[in-house]
Structure 1
Amino acid sequence: MQSDCFFAIIIIYFYAHPAKWRQGDGSGKNEVCELYLKALEIQGFKSFPDKTVLTFGEDITAIVGPNGSGKSNISDAIRWVMGEQSTRTLRGGKMEDVIFGGTARRKQTGYAEVSLVLDNTAHIFDMDESEVMVTRRYYRSGESEYYINRRSVRLRDVNELFMDTGLGREGYSIIGQGRIDEILSVKSTDRREMFEEAAGISRFRHRKEEAERKLERTDENLLRINDKIDELELQVEPLREQSERAKRFLILRDELKGLEISVWLDTLERLRAGSIKLETDYKEAVRQKEAAERAVEECFGAAEALSAQMREKEVEADRLRFAIQGREATVRELESSIAVLKSSIQHNLENTARIQEELEQREGRQDSLSGQIAERSGRLSEIDGQLERARREREEKDAAAQEALRSAGTLARELEELRGKESVKTADAHQAKALLSALAAAAQEVLDRDEAVRQELSRLDRRQEEAGAESSAAEKTLREARDERDAVKNVISGYTLRLDGRKKKAEQARERHVRLKMDENALTARIRMLTEMEKLHEGYSKAVKLVMGEVQRGTLHHIHGPVAGLLHVPDQYTVAIETALGGAMQNLVVDREEDGKAVIQYLKRRDGGRATILPLSSIRPGELREAESLSREPGFVGVADQLVQFDPRYRAVFSNLLGRVAVMEDLDAAIAAARRYGYRFRIVTLDGQVLNPGGSMTGGSASRSAGILSRANELERLNVQSSGLREQLEQAERALEETEREAKGAAYELESAQAQLREWEDAVLKAEAQVEHCRSVAASLKEQRENQRSELGQLQSRTGEIERDTQHARDRIRELEGEAAALKSEADGKARGQSDLQTRSLTLTQELSQLTAGLAALEAEREATARGLEELECLRRDLAGDQDQSRALIGDYQEKNEGFAREIGEKEGQLQELARETQEQQGRIAELNEEKLALEGERVKATREGQEKNRELLAMGGEVSRLEQKKMAAALDEKQLLDKLWETYELSHEAAKRQRVEIESVPKASRRIAELKKGISALGSVNVGAIQEFQRVNERYTYLTDQRDDVEKAKRELEEVIGQITGEMNTIFSREFQSINESFGQTFQELFGGGRATLELEDPDDILNCGIEIKVQPPGKALKTITLLSGGEKAFVAIALYFSILKVRPTPFVVMDEIEAALDDNNVVRFARYMRGMSEKTQFIVITHRRGTMEEADVLYGVTMQEQGVSRMLTINLNDVEKELKLR
């Protein structure tokens, strides 16, 4: 929609107003402009996330678009890349706001980058390149980068590049509503920057401001240098005196040092000679002690090794006993199994004998049956022959005897059937009887097995009770072991906490010891430094140092030292006494005037400066007569000489110096006392303020004269602190030793408890293994008992089955025997009926009676014989079957007995093997017991030998301790000498040897040392550091003096430069301002069609700082200031002013951001045409939405926002469009 709006504007422009098209050849080429903007590249800046390139010709370019499309962001981008730092000018809250912040569809970018490409063909910029690219990049992290032609530069370089070109952040090349507001501002001073840039003096103003800043810094430096010089001037002369005195001190000190070092080294050599023999004796004693320790360790080690071997033997014996116990259980199980197997064999043998007996009986019966069968077979053959003959005879008489025969035959068949049935029943009864016998044998076998199983169950019950007892004991042992282990763990926890606490306590003690040691080292260093300063008379004048140095070397005599070294001042009075003494602290006290004369002559010879001499022989005490009345004054502290401590022989000195000085608490009390006593004497307050005789006052920050008295007090205080700190350090060392000893004890207790824990862990493992073994045995016993109970149940079930089968067999036998008896009775009845029939047949049939009777008898006999034979054959077959079954049962019993016998043999072999192993292990246990007894004897012997060696070791230890103490005493003496060497002269032994001097004898050297110490003491307080301090201060003083001269010269040069710049700025600004004023009047008339306009300086005498007033008179109106005009008139006046400046100081290009927005249409046309006229010298880039301005443009850039928050560019070259329209 935005792009449609943009093109609609173009269409309206070309078709509705063709007459307003500008005149010209349409080339748009600018041949006058020597420098112009060629291109602008934007990426990630505000609403331009994508890289956008705008190319510009040497003519007018208009950038149009609806409100909010981002067209003003282009002018912001140009202003930003030229160095603008104000986020308010850039229409943002913070600099990060210039980076594209993202939309609903796009992510934010990480940086913003803008590049400005300028044509430099005419080399307006002092660069060789014909094209200049200025780039600025800013990251969200806050980092900024600047580039000129892709070379990294500073912001300052960018500002200097555009300075005095009208470009840059302070120039007038970018004109927006903000610039219009500056011109229209009520404050006339707000307009100055633009005029200065137009006049070309911005560079001069920057140079002037920089020179003024340098001048300000120079004044500050000069002030500091003068302060330092004034301070050093107070130190140079006193340091010169102190340096000379220190040199004398160094001569004496060096001689003293050489003698003391030589005497100490001589003593050290004697000590070391004695130490050599001590060391030899000590090493021999240590060697013997170590040998004794090794012997003791070997003895006790041997005893411990023997104890370990005994424990190993005991463990092995316990293992063997445990194995024997386990084997006994196995033996009992094997013996029980063998007893059961033997019982089974006996039972099987009994069954076999019984069955064999039955078999023999059956074989006898079978032989009898065979004879009967043979006999009956013969009879049957005989009967068959008789029957054959009888039948042949009967056939002859068959007709007569047919009926009788049929009846006899019928009876015979019935009888035969009955006899067959009787035989079957009899055979079944025999089979039932055989089964009954087998069942009786099986019942006996079941009874025997039942008894064996019950015995095994009883044994298993007893074994299970034993196993339960063993398991309970093992579990009790396990619980006890676990309880002991847990108790040891708790103890370990307590010991661990105790160890941690003691470690922490030891660490705290160690840290306190370290802190105290560091404090001691710092304090010692401070004491050493202050002591050295005292020795070197640090803080004293050169003259004092020179004199004290000569005193130390012994060339000057009868000199007691400076005043400051001869008194002691309490801390609360230090400031007051230092103030009261002032320079008198460095006065030298001597015995007589002649001694003072010698000092003065020495200083004159050495050019060592001046010193004040106080001869004890001539110095007169001073007295404050008002002291008694002063004591009643409020705030009175005392007379100064009464507040210090000194040797009585110096009373006159300090009475002279301090006897007429009153010390008051504060300045108010001092002033009151001074007024009361008419300012007749000197008054000093505790904080160092002074009221001098006559009424003058001295005060402010109290000077402590290099802190000489404070240093002595501090040294005394530090020595006291050092003593207290050493006591604290010794206490800390004892506390550290105690805490470390406690920590070691806690660690030992923890290790012992951990060893106990390991033992109880082992005990728990063993107990757990025993419990597991007992549980395994119990489970095995339980399984065996369940198997035995299961078998017992099966046996009981089998007994019931056998009893039921036996009862059934008995019932069957009775039933079969009854049926056989009934059949036999019936058969007998039939036989009797047959006999009756035969008798009746014989009676009825006489003719055939004999034959028929004989035949019937024969047939009956044959039938009976055949039936009997069949019965016998059947019985023989039954007997044969019973024999086979009995033989098979006998074979089965024999096979079982053979298996049982083999199993018994195997188990008896196992029993023998177990008995052999048990016997061997019992023998081994006996051997182990004997070995233990032997080892016990050896252990006792080794222990006794170790105790004897230990007594010898104790005696040797006493000798070693005695020698060690002597050696330590000698080493301590040696160390004290070495420490004395180090503490006194900071020399090691080797370094001291190099400084050793020849001495005749130690006594003579000692006497000379005493003389030297006396001479050094006579020098008093000496500041050895004053030698170097004077050299340093003097060099510093000379250096600062030379530096002051250089700074003053530089100041004069800067003032001359500032004057030259100011004069040049006045000249240039005055000239350019006049030109701009004239141009403004002309431009105003051209734009307004008449009238007049002027620029006036508010203070012509201060043209570089005063405000600039704008006065205009539009056609037909009175003369007014700009603030009285209407809004449109103000904007037009501002535009006229800008055009007038551009006429005088044209810029390479101008960016105008809707500056004509407040104009009416006619004035917009005037503005656009005037801009067209000036485009010959200046390149214009106009951001606008006014039609009149667009009519004068050569190129139109349209800014659209088809995607919310993202700006895009559309381009139309109006010259090309115009040509195309003309062609149409």
Structure 2
Amino acid sequence: MRLKEIKLAGFKSFVDPTHIPIPGQIVGVVGPNGCGKSNVIDAVRWVLGESSARHLRGETMQDVIFNGAGERKPGNRASVELMFDNSLSKVSGEWASYAEISIKRVLEREGASEYYINGIHVRRRDVADLFLGTGVGARAYGIIEQGMISQIIEAKPEELRVFLEEAAGVSKYRERRRETELRIGDTRDNLQRVTDIREELEKQLEHLQAQAEVAAKYKELQEALNNAHQLLWLVRKSEAVAQRARLNRELERATVEVDAELARLREAERRGEELRVSFYAASDRVSAAQGEFFQAGSEVARLEQQLQFMRASRARVESQLAQARTDLEQCTAQQVQSRASREDWRSKLDEATTQLEALMARVAAESERLPQAESAFQDAQEAARELRDELARIDQQAHVQEARREHAQKLLQQLEVRAARLEQERAALVLPDDDALAGLRAELQTYEAERRDLRERLERNDAELPRLEQHAREAQQSAEATASRITALDARRSALEALQARLARGEHMKSWLERHALEGHKRLWQGMRIEQGWEDALEAVLEERLNAVAVERLEAGQSWWHESPPAKFAIYSAENGSSLADAQPWQGLHPLVAFVTCLDGSVATVLGEWLQGVYVADSAAAALELRHHAPPGHTLVTREGHVFTRHSVSFHAPDSELHGVLSRQREIDQIGEQIAAEAVVLGDRRRGAEEREEALAQLRNRIASLRFEIDSTQERTHALELEILRVSEQADRSTQRGAQIATELGEIATQIEQESEQNAIALAGLERLREERHDLDARLREADDGFRRCEQALAEQRRALQTVEREAQAASFSQRTCVQRIEDLDAALQVLDEQHGRLSKSEQELEVDLSRFDETSLAAELQTALAVRAEREDALAKVRDDQQGLESELRTAEQQRLESEQRVDPLRNRIGELRLKEQEARLTEEQFERQLAEAGADEDALRNQLERGVRSSHLNTEIARLGEEIAALGAVNLAALEELNVARERKVYLDAQSADLEQALETLETAIRRIDRETRELLGKTFEEVNRHFGEMFPSLFGGGTARLALTGEEILDAGIQVIAQPPGKRNSSIHLLSGGEKALTALSLIFSMFQLNPAPFCLLDEVDAPLDDSNTIRFCNLLKKMAAETQFMFISHNKLTMEIAEQLVGVTMQELGVSRVVAVDIDEALKLTEKQAA
């Protein structure tokens, strides 16, 4: 891997984008002191990951960004990019496939530092890993800066071991070991944290276990209590159901009895009416008999009979009237009794209504008080919550005030320290020298005039450069575009040829072809071409024969007949016969062979045979029409490959691997022609590009010459500018810094006063917040007490409302019962009123009939009627007997009716009571059923728990006992069970994590041991090799003497390395007794010994030859030229002897004060130019 180019922009004094090409193996960087040569070394070190500003000769990392100079403003960004040639793939890993590798680092003024590899954003570690074990790195032996030679030779043994590790290539092992140790530390820390968490979790588990047991007991008791409640509700519901069933049965029986009694009553009433009608009829018959009795006698007899009849009728009417009056009295008594009963029920109704209204009023009152209790409860709850929020706010404010106080105290300390430091700095300021500055500026103006003239000439050439570069670029791009087209066409041709070759090989037929010595024989399609558009037609006709193999004679393959091929396959004889031109058109259609071009005679022979009689049709319709006229053996085929015979059609589809073989072959031929044409164009364009490149190179040489002259003229200008800048900046810095210090001290005093005030305010605020918190704690306790009282009052109010609602329901049932009973009595009274009306009417009619009889007027005629009466007396007596019998039956029926009515009333009362009890039982059932539903109880499961004979009193006792046990548990953490499960799951997870961490720790420790073993072996071998090379290299540089390396300990992993060197003729006991030059040569011997073992891709040397004399410098240069075969060297030097070995010199100048520029000179090209000029 070679370093091709260094690109700098905004890095230290390289403010403008600067490219430093490094084409050779030995490149020298030269220039006057202070021009920025060492900044190139710093740039390489910086881009390779250097993170210490001290090693980059700065105070902070932002010092690498251009800080301004003259009229230039400070930069905001610094970037350095290294371009490497990796065409030999020396880099391992994911970047090995890149022929060119770019490493870039960018730093913003705000502090953001970014690394890129080939334009991809990476970490600093990725850049370091890229060079691990190569000797290249921010602190590796591949970069030797000023003063580092003496540091290496005088370094501590432990520091020298780092160079040995880099030479051994174990720095990557060290990095892996360091990462592994960090991971072990992290793993141990994680394991310790997990162990601490597990111990704390075990304590928490014990506490949660106790709480969980109480919670489980509470849940068990609560479940038992709920179960007991549900059992009690089920028992009471069952009792209510049973009572309701019993009451329904009794109600049914009472209803049946009432219905039966009412039926008997209606029957008695009907019988009484029938007997009454019969009685009236009998009375009519008696009257008729008496009339006949009177008519049968004489007038005297008539009168006697009439008198007798009058007496009898009077007696009958009086008897009927007495009976009617008796019935009327009984009916009146029943009416009085019913009305009294109705009044009694109405009184009960009034009482029930009054009670219901009172209870409803109580319900309304209790309902009105409930929202008040709920509102009071919510207000108390909200008040407590507001107080807690206020308490949290005060705690937060107290925390803020405490943080402010601590911040103010810390800031006060910082301000005091800063003020003291500023006072010390102000005392150390240096006053400016105005006279020296004026002299330097006058001298600078003289050089500026000369520099402007050179710049004008350079600008004219620079203006011409972009045009020539554009022309050269366009010519190169045109040539590259043509080359790309050729490459694409060649790739396409290669792909098609590979596909054709694979088809020719016949993978599925390969073994059969090899066994029969047919492998590699030419296929039929390779020996012919067909016009475009007829490929499908030929493929459809030939099918598998298209891939047929040519043999000399068919008789030579006797083994073919004993072992058939595994697929359809054709073989043809390569014998010359008739040509394709022999076929003639038919019916205006051309034969298919007319479109085929054969490349040899054997193909023409077999195609003439296989395509004989095959003609092409323009369309399927034309083929369908002509097929009827086709002679036997003739075939028609279309462009699409559809084949027509006289009696059939075969449709073609690209279902064979041979499909497209002919079109691909034609495309291969066409691509070959295109490539040949493009190659001619490419040659012309490349010649044009070379001509333009030559013109561009000449212009660049002129520009380089002008720039060299400008740089030479500007060298003194830069020196003067630097001196002026230094003096000006020193004066400005002293003045500005003095004013700045005064301003800062004033600001610090103000800030100290402000922060002191803030500290006092924070203390006062803390005290005030503590008092407020104390008051809030008291108010919160009062609010909590009020909240508990409101909660208890709300519960009592809800219980009172439920009690009143139950009483109101009972009163409502009683009211409905009274209404029902009154309605029944009203119906009975209506019947009695109707009956009383009938009896009163009958009494009035009988009284009218009785008033018609006048016994005094008929007394005289009575004697006359006696004779007639005697004759009809028997008949009249009989009629009267019938009437009396009917009258007796009528009285009996009426008595039965009254008795039935007396029996119906108690039954109706019983039915009303039963209905009331049934409704109460139904409401009780609904109440407990609703409670069971709200509790989500499974009644079937509850019934299975019930024992025979279990009563509600036993369950009430059990509920009271369970309630006492729950109360005895005290405060219960119901979430403990869930928290315990979560904690147990976390414990299992932590146990698994601990086991994983222990296993990972063991794995990492095993890796550490393996790394140590491998590192120990590699370091041991490397130490021996480096020691041997060092012993050989030292005498070659010194011209004699001895040198060796020694370990300071027995364990090579921890032991340091001590350098023991004795130049020729010296017996020094310590390396520190050597001179500066001897130390430099010793250090170089050691470094180059490491290079021989593990050559770095490139090596940067910063004035390492400064302490060497000419003879030692020559030895040093010879060694560099020898090692340049494997390592690329870039050195900074003021020694002419060292400059002479450089293949390319890079000049660094500073024509513009504080701004470095680069001028590159190829030594070989310069010598050739000099020789031409001399000739």
Higher-Rg structure is 1
Please indicate the TM-score interval, normalised by the length of the shorter structure. Answer: 0.3 to 0.5
Q: TM-score, with normalisation over the residues of structure 1?
A: 0.39
Q: TM-score, with normalisation over the residues of structure 2?
A: 0.40
